Amino acid sequence: MKRIILAFFWLAIASTFILLAPFRVSAAVTISSFDAKWQSGKVVVSWKTGSELNNVGFNVLRSPSASGTFTKVNYTPAQFGSIAGASYAFTDSAVTAGQSYYYRLESLDTSGNKATHSVTAIAAAPAAPTATATATPTRTATLVPGAPTSTPAPPTATAPPTATTPPQFTPTRTPTFPPGITPPTPVPPTPTVRVAYAVQPTAPPKAGAPAAPSVSAPKPEETRVALAIKDAESETAEEPEEEIAAAPEDSDVRAKQLFLGAGILLLGIIGAGGLLLGILAIYLSFRARSEM
């Protein structure tokens, strides 16, 4: 009899645990606050728990309407040692701007059971900014009766800029001479002597006196021919001086070239002689060894 009573007692206890098991998770987690707000184009979901017992984590559920289907968008694990409650937050970036969203929490216990909490957080769509038109006042000039009206002056036309021609430069050629040759000294031009002939009036001959020979003035053509001949003679007289001045310079250059050639020839002869002497010395040394 005792065994039967003891069996009924354990059966009653087991049935009690079986009946209370579905409600154990919901009673183990209490939500003290649950909120959702738009921030910088994203929804930040935050909540706080008053107490937690055997809690593993939370599933965040989202729906576009209050009566729609809630789907899981995040899992947040529970904080260690959060029996007395803790604070949680989740940023939902997979949202569309200008739309409202509804969020719920689902807690999980150590046995894998889930409990959906009835608290709903609403992230209302932010209001679009309204553009306000600002009117710019226009001023109208009013004239006093009888006052003269002013006529606006037409704009003054400005003359187009005139193009300035760039300065032109005439190149000057400077003669260059090879090294060792002295440039000739320019000879100043010889002044041209012009002879003027004056015709003196002759006294009338006396009666009975023989007539004096008349001296006729030279014609202009003859004067020009004489001047041209004189200029040509002066130029031909100056040319031998230049040739005489240039002759010593040419002789100096030729003498330098002659000495240079003689020096090179002498160096060549000395080098060839030294080479022959070296060959002869080598030959004599080999010959002396062969005889020994």
Top pLDDT among 185 and 122 is at 122
- pLDDT tens for 172-222 read 677 677 777 777 777 776 766 565 555 555 555 565 555 555 555 555 555
Distance of CA 182 to the CA centre of its chain: 55
User: What confidence score (pLDDT) does residue 287 get?
Assistant: 82
Instruction: Enumerate the H helices of 142-194 as residue ranges.
Output: none
Q: Is residue 13 part of a domain?
A: no
3-state secondary structure of 45: strand
Whose tokens are 């940023």? That residue is: 91
Q: What is the mean pLDDT of the chain?
A: 74
Higher pLDDT, 99 or 139: 99
Dihedral of the CA atoms 23, 29, 32, 37 (nearest 10)?
A: -100
Query: Using 50, 70 and 90 to split pLDDT, how confident is the model at 48?
Result: very high
CA–CA separation, 126 and 95 (whole Å): 13
**Whats the size of the chain, residue-wise?**
292
pLDDT value at residue 27: 47
pLDDT for 22 equals 42
Short-list 183, 178, 184, 185, CA closest to 257: 178
Report the pLDDT value the prediction gives residue 24, as an integer from 0 to 100: 41
Encode pLDDT of 9-19 as tens digits.
767 776 555 44
Of 17-31, 55-69, 265-279, which has the strongest mean pLDDT? 55-69
**Could you list the residue range(s) of the whole structural domain that residue 56 is in?**
22-123
Long-range contacts from 94-99, C-beta under 8 angstroms, 24+ separation? 95/41, 95/42, 95/43, 95/123, 97/41, 97/126, 98/125, 98/126, 98/128, 99/64, 99/125
Per the domain annotation, does 34 fall within a domain?
yes
Count of domains forming the chain: 1
Residue 58 is predicted with a pLDDT of 95
**CATH number of the structural domain spanning residue 53:** 2.60.40.10
Determine, yes or no, domain membership for 158.
Answer: no
Mean pLDDT of 90-94: 94
Token pair 């209001």: residue? 127
Has residue 248 got a pLDDT over 70? no
Q: Which amino acid does the sequence have at 67?
A: S
Show contacts of 222-230: CB within 8 Å, 24+ apart: 223/195, 223/197, 226/195, 227/192, 227/194, 227/195, 230/192, 230/193
In a domain, 191, yes or no: no
The better pLDDT of the pair 158, 47 is held by 47
Evaluate whether residue 40 is within a structural domain.
yes
Q: Average pLDDT, stretch 76-81?
A: 86
Least confidently predicted of 175-189, 223-237, 276-290:
223-237
Q: Considering the domain boundaries, does residue 157 fall inside one?
A: no
Distance (Å, rounded) from C-alpha 292 to C-alpha 190? 90
Distance CA 194, CA 198 (A): 13
Residue 37 has pLDDT above 50, yes or no: yes
Least confident of 59-63, 145-149, 220-224: 220-224
Residue 204 domain flag: no
11 in any annotated domain: no
